């Protein structure tokens, strides 16, 4: 039975097979969840990310989890919100789908996501939650390894938006 869960918490403490990082296209760290993941994983993560030479918006790259409890970290730059007419919806869906595809390829059973693009990148929360949950649902229908996807929300408002999307 494949499941989608919504929890409130800090994704750096989650012992999933893979956690996803809401990165930027340099993959060289930043603020928000990206900064928290780099701090908790340790400097070896920076060195591993340097080798990719960046990553286009909506694509994904995988590294070891280093000092995190997660086995892998999947890094995906979500779209910056520019009003909604610049392919933002599709790019956000790509971030979720490409991250899950990598997780499946690396035999991950459990995957945890933060709320990609709804912090510094200003994607409207309700709209982002609907896209995330719909994309995860579609992926789980054909996934061969991934069975459990958890949205790890940092605050109650974000958790409420994803619970609403799961229940709709
Ligand atoms: N665990 C789970 N969620 C968190 C954590 C955490 N430890 N810390 C923050 N969040 P953001 P974005 C939530 O801004 O909008 C970075 O500088 C946060 O409250 O981290 O995709 C990157 O380098 C919000 O709900 O990511 C990029 O430049 C969500 O994670 C840029 O920010 C996403 O907020 C990416 O912006």
DSSP the chain: --EEEEEES-GGG---SEEEEEE-TT-S--SHHHHHHHHHH-HHHHHHHHTTT---TT--EEEE-TTSSSSEEEEEEPPPPSSS-SSHHHHHHHHHHHHHHHHHHTT-SEEEE--TTSSTT---HHHHHHHHHHHHHHHHHH-SS--EEEEEESSHHHHHHHHHHHT-
Among the listed residues 10, 17, 34, 107, the single catalytic one is: 34
Mean of the per-residue pLDDT values of the chain: 98
- The CATH number of whichever domain residue 62 belongs to comes to 3.40.220.10
Question: CB neighbours (10 Å) of residue 63?
Answer: 19
- Ligand 1, atom 12, residue with closest C-alpha: 117
Q: Which domain holds residue 138?
A: 3-166
- Report whether pLDDT(113) > 90: yes
Bridge partners of residue 23, in order along the sequence = 77
Q: 12 alpha carbon to ligand 1 midpoint, in Å?
A: 12
Q: Is 34 a catalytic residue?
A: yes
- Report whether pLDDT(83) > 90: yes
Angstrom distance (rounded) from CA 76 to CA 141: 22
Instruction: Find all residues with CB under 8 Å of 153, minimum gap 6, and list them.
Output: 6, 7, 8, 9, 114, 115, 159, 161, 162
pLDDT of residue 1: 82
Work out how many domains the chain is built from and give that number. Answer: 1
Pocket of ligand 1 (CB under 6 A): 10-12, 22-24, 30-34, 36, 78, 114-121, 152, 154-155, 158
pLDDT of residue 119: 98
- What is the model's pTM? 0.98
* pLDDT above 90: percentage of residues in the chain: 99
- The pLDDT of 45-67, averaged and rounded, is 98
């Amino acid at each position: 039975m494949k499941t989608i869960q919504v929890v409130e918490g800090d994704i750096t403490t989650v012992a999933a097979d893979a956690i996803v990082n809401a990165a930027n296209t340099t993959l060289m760290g930043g603020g928000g969840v990206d900064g928290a993941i780099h701090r908790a994983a340790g400097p070896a993560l920076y060195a591993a990310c340097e080798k990719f030479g960046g990553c286009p918006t909506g694509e994904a790259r995988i590294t070891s989890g280093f000092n995190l409890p997660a086995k892998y970290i999947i890094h995906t730059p979500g779209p910056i919100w520019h009003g909604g007419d610049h392919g933002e919806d599709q790019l956000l869906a790509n971030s979720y789908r490409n991250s899950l595809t990598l997780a499946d390829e690396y035999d991950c059973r459990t995957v945890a996501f933060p709320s990609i693009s709804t912090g510094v990148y200003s994607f409207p929360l309700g709209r982002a939650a609907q896209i995330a949950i719909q994309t995860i649902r579609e992926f789980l229908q054909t996934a061969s390894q991934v069975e459990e996807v958890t949205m790890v929300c940092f605050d109650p408002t974000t958790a409420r938006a994803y619970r609403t999307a799961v229940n709709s």
